[in-house]
Amino acid sequence: MASTTQHKALLKWVSEIERMCRPAHVYWCDGTKAEYDALIKLTLDTGAATRLNPDRRPNSVLFRSHPSDVARVEDRTFISTPDSEDAGPTNNWMDPAELKREMAALYTGCMAGRTLYVIPFSMGPIGSPIAKVGIEITDSPYVVVNMHIMTRVGQKVLDTLGEKGEFIPCLHSVGAPLAPGQKDVAWPCAPIGQKYISHFPDENLIWSYGSGYGGNALLGKKCLALRIASAMARREGWMAEHMLILRLTNPAGRRFHIAAAFPSACGKTNLAMLQPTIPGWKCECIGDDIAWMKIRPDGRLHAINPEAGFFGVAPGTSYKSNPMAMKTIRANSIFTNCVLTDDGDIWWEDMDVPCTHGIDWKGQEWTPDMKDADGKPIKGAHPNARFTAPARQCPVICPDWEDPAGVPIDIFVFGGRRTHVMPLVHQAFDWDHGVFMGATAASEPTAAALDVKVKLRYDPMAMLPFCGYHIGDYWQHWFEMGDRLGEKAPKVFYVNWFRKDGKRWLWPGFGENSRVLKWMCERVEGTAGARRTPLGYMPAPADLDTAGLEVGAADLETLLSVDGNAFRDELDELDAFLKKVGDRLPERMKRQVAAYKQRLGA
C-alpha cells in the first residue's frame, strides 16, 4: 500500500529512513482486517508462525523467538539526553550524538531484502484529548500484527494527524538484512551486543535495533507509552504511569475508578480483571498496564488506557488466578514462546490443565518429566512467554474503556511483594505522604535476583525501568500535580497481598482482594473507620468486610499490624536508596522521610 498522507514532515522522515535502511519494498499500513490476515498468512508461509487448532483457539497463532531474544534488555536500553544528569541514576545514558552515530551505522542497509512497514498508530482512542499519535517504521511482520492488536492502526490515524499534526517517530529494525537469494530465518534478530533500545526524550524520538521481541519492538508499549510519554507528561503537565485502571461499582450504583501501580509478579493483570467475592459489587477492566492522566475542566484527574490490547505474561495465568484473562485469549490472539500441544493448542506452566507432551518454546519435543543436567525440571514455556489479545474481548471490559474524555480517578494504589513486615493495606495521610509511599514501594528480591544480598528492591511507582528522565524530577512532578489537583486529588493507598507465615499465605488474594478495595472506596466516601499508625491510616479488623472470609482472627490481626522494630531495621536501606537520587531529591521528599522516621521513633 502506498502513502495516503499529505503530511510533509512525515513523508520526509519516511523517505530519509528508506534511504538509510534500503528496504526492498515500502508498505503503508491501513489497519484493516484484510491486512492483518494477509500478514498472518505471510508469517505462516515463511514458517515464522504456527496456526493453532481453529476448533480450540480460533484465528490464533504461535510464534517462537530466538533464544537470545526473549525479554526486555534493560542493559541495552538508553535514555539519551544532552546532559547525563537529566537521565538520572535509574537509567542507562549515552550521549545523543554518539548513540546516533553508532546506531546509524547499524541501520545503514539493515532492511535489505525486507519490507519497510509504516505503521500509523494512536495511543488512546483516536481523537481523544489525552491520546498521542506515533508512527512506527519496522521491518517485522510480527511487530505489525501485534501493533494491530495493541494500538489503533490505520488511515483514521493519518486523517487525525492531518498535514501538520504532531507525531512521535519510532524506528525499529530486527537488524538482519538479507542478501540476494538468502533464505530468511523464522525469528531474525541481531546479536545481543548489537541490540539497542534508545530514547531521545528531548526530541520525542525512539530508535530500536536488533530485537524483535515485545516492548523492544512494539514501540507503542513501554518505549512510547512510558519512557517518552513520562518526559512529555512532565513538560506538558499530565501523567504517564505504569498503572492498571479499573471501575468498581458498589451496590448503590456509585462508581469508583482505581489506578494501581505494581512491579512485575504482584498480580497487576489479575487485579485489573478482578471478580469480587462480596455480594453486590461489580468490577470492570479499563486497562491492565498503562494509564495516561490529565486534569480535565472539572478539576479532576481523568485517565485513559492508551493501549487497545493486552500483552500479558502467560505462565501463571489460569482459570484460578485470572479466569477473565483466560476467556479473553480464547480466540483472535497471538502467542509467543508457549508450548504447542499435540492437539494444536497452547500451554504453559501453572495453567492448571494437564499437558503430557508437546513442542516447547525452542521447537523441541517436551514432556513435563524432563530435567536438565542439574536435575531441575525443564520448562516447556519460557517464563516470559506472552499472549497478545484485543482488550475488547475481555468479558469484564468496561463499556467506557474507550471514552475519549477518560474516567475520573478516585484512588491510587501502590504495592510490592512482601512476605514479611508490610501489612495488608494502609492509606496515606495526605498527597505528599502518598507520593512518599509510592516512591518507596519495594519488593523482596527472589533467590535468583542479582541483588539477592539486599533486603528490599525499591521500584518507585513501579516505574524503575520506565521513567524517561531523572527519578527525583519525576517525584517532584508528582508533588506539583498534587498542588494543581488540591482537594480533588485521588486518595492514595498501599497494599501487600503476599504476607506469609512460613509457607502459608495469610491472605487468600484473588477475588478476596475486593474486600480491601471496598474499604478504600468507603474511605473515599467517609463511611469506613481507620486508625492512625506510623505507616498511615489502617483498618482495624472490624473495618474490613470479612463476611464469609476464611481468615482466622489471629491472621487478620497480623495482616493489620505494624511492627515498628521491623520498619526501623529497614531505614538504612531506605536511606541508601534515596541517597542515589542525589541533589535532585525533592525537599518535600526529605520532609516526608523525616516525618516517617519520627513516627517510627527512630
List active site positions.
266
Q: What φ, ψ does residue 118 adopt, rounded to 5°?
A: -105, 115
Contact status, residue 205 vs residue 198, Cβ threshold 8 Å: no
What are residue 473's phi and psi, to 5 degrees?
Answer: -65, -35
Three-state secondary-structure class, residue 221? helix
What does DSSP say about strands 196-200 and 386-390: parallel, antiparallel, or unpaired? unpaired
- For 558-571, b/e burial (b = at least 16 CB within 10 A) is bbbebeeeebeebe
**φ and ψ of 286, to 5 deg:** -110, -35
Residues in the chain: 602
Beta-sheet strands, E only, within 391-453: 407-408, 411-415, 425-427, 442-443
CA distance 304 to 63: 30
Q: DSSP 3-state assignment of 395?
A: coil
Vertex 453: Cα angle to 447 and 457 (nearest 5): 80
Bridge partners of residue 282, in order along the sequence: 249
* CA-closest candidate to residue 485, choices 309, 348, 300: 300
How far, in Å, CA of 25 to CA of 104, rounded?
Answer: 20
CA distance 567 to 88: 27
The closest of 339, 352, 343, 321 to 387, measured between CA atoms, is 339
Segment holding 78, helix H or strand E: strand 77-79
Give phi and psi for 376, each to the nearest 5. Answer: -90, 145
Provide the pairing of β-strand 196-200 with 239-241: unpaired
Q: How far apart are CA 249 and CA 242, in angstroms?
A: 23
DSSP assignment of 444-510, as one string? PPPTTSTTTTSS-EE-GGG-TTT-SS-HHHHHHHHHHHHHHHGGGSPEEEEE----EETTEESS--G
Cα–Cα distances in Å, from 539 out to 514, 516, 531?
Answer: 15, 9, 6
Residue type, 422: M
Closest to 188 measured CA to CA, from 201, 170, 176:
176
